[in-house]
A and B are shown apart, each in its own frame.
Chain A
């Protein structure tokens, strides 16, 4: 199956008949739209000439101060001058890659990793070397081995890209005791750490883990986002970077977009000032926990023998391994026929692995729909098992190009 074929199948996922466990759209139903719309109107009425004007590429100063307050929840002591506001953290990631990577440079990343990051790395012709994870996240031994192997091959490692909390797509969290070791390893080898942390405040047990940046301000570039804690459509994220990097980021941002949208920044700033944003995050956490529980209990009830999955304690995703022999990419048309969609695993690897895995997103559908979706998915897998019993183990063809859902997939 080809990349565009896979992408086309996701077009069906937007229809209400299909339970989409494929996308990563946040659950916005919990937002206080009435009071928010009043504040947005007031931003235009009272600050309109600023809100609708160009701003600086660095970002609105007041928002940068507030971002530092948000990051303080994860133990980060950042200075507003070192914050660059970006059009979603995706833009931050893109700029960091552009600044650091020449074609052929190596980026280390967890395997699997966020598909949008792999897209950015590929756009700048960086080579991704995956580093293994277990239930406690990135494995320090595997990291050391990967570094040694790359160094032996004579290539340059530019940075480690990592999602330490409630990983996308793997759902795991880097154990606190591993964090110092990983930072130390990277520092010793002169490897920058790019910490992508969109889900850090969405821990279901109320635990917020200390950011990597909190203990190593000089060697960590931190990417943050309001997409999961407030509103993805505003596209407001940020980079907190060491001073020298920050200056390069501002110049890169200026050449890319002149400035992030001023109105959107003022809306976020006003929201943080006038709304109980911490209470809102708590509401989100509870909604996501309920959905996680629905997904896990349905998996336990329906999945065929030989399937495994993790139980995430935060974020949006469960990473499922299906019985041996099944290629989750080749199975996708069958799933669409049975009105359920998921993201197949190979999209989350740069090296063709992941054919036995799939990602379930529980962020958007209601718990009832999630249960129904998992039930359908289990039936799809059972049908596919039958097919493999008939034809024996098969090897699917590698697919190049995007084969994961676009961001607006439900």
Chain B
């Protein structure tokens, strides 16, 4: 393996700062273990100066949420002509906005739970209750509420009773101005990582998520022991292949690059529903991508070292 020197960007100012710092530390250790020279940088006001002065061989974006996933940091790296691992800025913008990603994939014929997107202003202008009623009439209960952008399930609520809706809306809109409401699909929840290789993108084994309390919320994600994971997922061969294909399709259709993670639900009838995609998957001790890597018999360090080579030679 080469002795490239790379900067791992983590932290930032998003609500997911803490998760990102953990991802950055873990990735940095993995890269050092395969011989790379790594510096961990916070994505702060010194980013441009650092890039100019230090010119790393490549940057790995381990930022979650906000500027790390919405294409802003990627735009800066493109402007500075610094090679980086991950999706380019334009595709980041598409993937980051959950309704945009859902719409593109639905247009291409992929299944995704029916949804509605509304900004706070619409509720204010038309009256909250009639709009909420219309939402429930159409999407049914339970329904899933999440901010239209953002990750780690921050602000996400499963609403089982219409009476819980106003509080869930307030909780959700504390993270942003627009809410994505989705029909709730029961089934097997899986996450599928996709990695680019010489033969194009390929899916790693799907990871099945079984949260102890039924909801894979922030606490269930980042508290060891609160969620059971099965890697590979306990799916039959056909379903396992279908989730892999869905994830690769999402990766291709949205123009993603190097690595992505698609979250999906396999309904009892076997339909694989696309939920959302992450251009900067979590890399913490309890994150899904490292589990998929392990289930594939590979190492995180090697996978990212290969992606770094790809980035440098692009």
Contact = CB atoms under 8 A, between A and B. Distances in A.
Interface of A: 1-5, 7-9, 11-12, 15, 17-18, 327, 330-334, 336-337, 339, 384, 386-392, 394-397
Nearest to B217: A2
Nearest to B11: A15
Nearest to A384: B174
25 contacts: A2-B217, A4-B218, A5-B219, A8-B218, A11-B17, A11-B18, A12-B13, A12-B15, A18-B13, A327-B170, A332-B174, A333-B154, A333-B155, A333-B175, A386-B120, A386-B124, A389-B124, A391-B128, A391-B166, A391-B169, A391-B170, A392-B128, A394-B166, A394-B170, A395-B167
A1 B18 contact: no
Interface in B86-142: 120, 123-124, 128
A-B pairs, 7 with minimum CB distance: A11-B18, A394-B167, A391-B166, A2-B219, A5-B218, A8-B18, A333-B174
B44 interface: yes
Contacts of A337: 15, 175-176
B19 A387 contact: no
Nearest to A12: B17
Contacts of A388: 170
Contacts of B13: 12, 15, 17-18, 339
A330 B218 contact: no
A345 to B, nearest CB: 16
Contacts of A397: 167
Interface string B161-201: 00000110111011110000000000000000000000000
Interface string B222-235: 11000000000000
Contact of A390 (B124, B154, B218): B124
Contacts of A339: 13
B302 to A, nearest CB: 30
Nearest to B175: A333
B21 interface: yes
Contacts of B124: 386, 389-390
A283 to B, nearest CB: 32
Nearest to A335: B174
Interface centre among A15, A18, A332, A387, by most chain B C-beta atoms within 10 angstroms, is A387
Given A2-B218, A5-B154, A390 B123 contact: yes
A254 B261 CA distance: 51
Given A8-B19, A337-B175, 11 more contacts: A2-B218, A3-B219, A8-B18, A11-B21, A17-B45, A333-B155, A339-B13, A384-B174, A390-B128, A391-B128, A397-B167
Contacts of A386: 120, 124
A11 B174 CA distance: 17
Contacts of A390: 120, 123-124, 128
Given A4-B218, A4-B219, A12-B15, A331 B128 contact: no
B308 to A, nearest CB: 27
B121 to A, nearest CB: 9
B22 to A, nearest CB: 10
Contact of A396 (B44, B167, B218): B167
Interface in B44-65: 44-45
Nearest to A392: B166
B72 to A, nearest CB: 15
Contacts of A392: 128, 166
B104 to A, nearest CB: 27
B223 A387 contact: no
Nearest to B129: A392
Contacts of B120: 386-387, 390
Nearest to B131: A390
A396 B171 CA distance: 8
Nearest to A327: B170
B174 A331 contact: yes
B128 A4 contact: no
Contacts of A336: 15
Contact of A1 (B17, B44, B171): B171
A331 B172 CA distance: 10
Contacts of A394: 166-167, 170
Contacts of B128: 390-392
Nearest to A3: B219
Given A2-B218, A11-B21, A387 B154 contact: no
B63 to A, nearest CB: 13
A15 B173 CA distance: 23
Interface centre among B45, B123, B124, B219, by most chain A C-beta atoms within 10 angstroms, is B219
Nearest to A4: B219
B220 to A, nearest CB: 9
B17 A387 contact: no
B44 A387 contact: no
Interface string B192-222: 0000000000000000000000000111001
Interface string B14-51: 11111101000000000000000000001011000000
Contacts of A327: 170
Contacts of B14: 12
A7 B218 CA distance: 11
Contacts of A11: 17-18, 21
A391 B173 CA distance: 11
A17 B223 CA distance: 28
A331 B18 CA distance: 19
B118 to A, nearest CB: 11
A136 to B, nearest CB: 35
Contact of B171 (A8, A18, A330): A330
A8 B170 contact: no
B174 A334 contact: yes
A107 B120 CA distance: 44
A276 B209 CA distance: 61
A391 B219 contact: no
B170 A330 contact: yes
A337 B222 CA distance: 21
Contacts of B223: 4
B213 to A, nearest CB: 10
Contacts of B45: 17
A334 B42 CA distance: 22
Interface in B251-271: none
Contacts of B11: 15
A337 B154 CA distance: 13
A11 B124 CA distance: 32
A8 B15 contact: yes
A395 B165 CA distance: 11
